[in-house]
């Protein structure tokens, strides 16, 4: 009897669990791929981009956990009022198959980016993202966009490439915004670990805390047109200029 009971138990364990009807399998794959594209290990060059943090530390603007959080919040807010505006515009255009609108967003963001290094990294990461996506999947809009980048007819800004990738994967608009903003914050905090005396626990606390901004920032960003895309951060602009002329650097700006 004991043997039969054990065999019955083993048969039950061997049977695959039924998938609940409510589980959205396509949604699970979409979420996993969005997480993949927001991962800090994605080989598009974010690891070499400090977004002004290196100069902020060198000049004393950032010196500890508190000032680092303030700086990250500044950059995340800046991204929401400029880069993310272009991203949402391009995302909507991608869903409507409006390629001319995507190119307009690409050029508008490029024209507003201050500093040659900022422009260089924006374009370098955009092109690398397009190349990577085409290596791992079929992204028709990104293929067309990459051809235009190589032809020199569009700059190829990173958030525009992200917008097309997220739209192709079936992301919602709030998911696209969230993944973009998360990437900005995690990129900065990853750089901070290599630039200052701070540990992983502190950076995770900062990252956890600033996620509270998402709802408020999205509410503002989602209502802006390309013409309203702008940012006022003079200290950040000065740090960008400082970094360009610095003799000792670990990162691009």
Q: Is 23 left (phi over 0), alpha (psi -120 to 50) or beta?
A: beta
Query: Which of 84-98, 109-123, 144-158 has the least mean pLDDT?
Result: 109-123
Tens digits of residue pLDDT in 48-82: 777 788 888 888 899 999 999 999 999 999 999 99
Higher pLDDT, 209 or 46: 209
User: What's the pLDDT at 245?
Assistant: 56
Asked if the model's pLDDT at residue 203 lies above 70, the reply is: yes
pLDDT of residue 131: 97
CATH architecture, range 50-243: Orthogonal Bundle (1.10)
Give the number of other Cβ atoms within 10 Å of residue 234's Cβ: 7
pLDDT of residue 249: 46
pLDDT at 64: 95
pLDDT at 10 exceeding the cut of 50 = no
Question: Which sequence spans correspond to the domains of the chain?
Answer: 50-243
Rounded CA separation 81/181 (Å)? 11
Name 49's bridge partners. 252
pTM of the model as a whole? 0.83
Judge whether residue 7 has pLDDT over 90. Answer: no
User: Which SS3 state, helix, strand or coil, does residue 77 take?
Assistant: helix
How many C-beta atoms surround the C-beta of residue 190 within 10 A?
Answer: 19
Q: How confident is the model at residue 221 (pLDDT cuts 50, 70, 90)?
A: very high
Residue 88 in this model has a pLDDT that exceeds 50: yes
CB 94 within 8 A of CB 141: yes
Listed in sequence order, the residues at least 6 apart from 167 whose beta carbon sits closer than 8 Å to its beta carbon are: 91, 94, 95, 141, 176
Phi, psi dihedrals of residue 52, rounded to the nearest 5°: 90, -10
Other C-beta atoms closer than 10 Å to the C-beta of 136 total 10
Query: And the tokens for 217?
Result: 């920032």
Question: How much is the pLDDT for 1?
Answer: 46
């Amino acid at each position: 009897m004991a043997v039969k009971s054990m065999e019955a138990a083993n048969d039950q364990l061997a049977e695959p669990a039924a998938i609940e009807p409510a589980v959205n399998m396509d949604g699970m794959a979409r979420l996993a791929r969005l997480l993949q594209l927001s991962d800090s290990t994605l080989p598009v060059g974010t690891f070499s981009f400090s977004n002004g943090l290196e100069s902020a530390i060198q000049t004393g603007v950032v010196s500890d956990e508190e000032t680092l959080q303030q700086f990250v919040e500044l950059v995340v807010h800046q991204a929401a009022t400029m880069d993310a505006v272009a991203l949402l515009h391009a995302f909507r255009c991608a869903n409507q198959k409006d390629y001319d609108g995507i190119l307009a967003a690409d050029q508008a963001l490029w024209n507003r980016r201050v500093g040659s290094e900022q422009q260089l990294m924006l374009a370098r990461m955009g092109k690398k993202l397009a190349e990577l996506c085409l290596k791992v999947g079929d992204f028709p809009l990104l293929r067309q966009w990459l051809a235009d980048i190589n032809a020199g007819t569009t700059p190829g800004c990173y958030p525009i490439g992200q917008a097309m990738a997220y739209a192709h994967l079936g992301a919602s608009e709030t998911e696209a915004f969230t993944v973009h903003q998360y990437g900005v914050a995690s990129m900065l905090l990853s750089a901070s670990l290599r630039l200052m005396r701070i540990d992983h626990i502190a950076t995770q606390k900062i990252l956890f805390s600033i996620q509270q901004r998402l709802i408020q920032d999205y509410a503002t960003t989602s209502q802006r047109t390309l013409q309203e895309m702008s940012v006022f951060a003079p200290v950040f602009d000065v740090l960008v200029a400082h970094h360009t002329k610095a003799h000792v650097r670990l990162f691009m700006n």
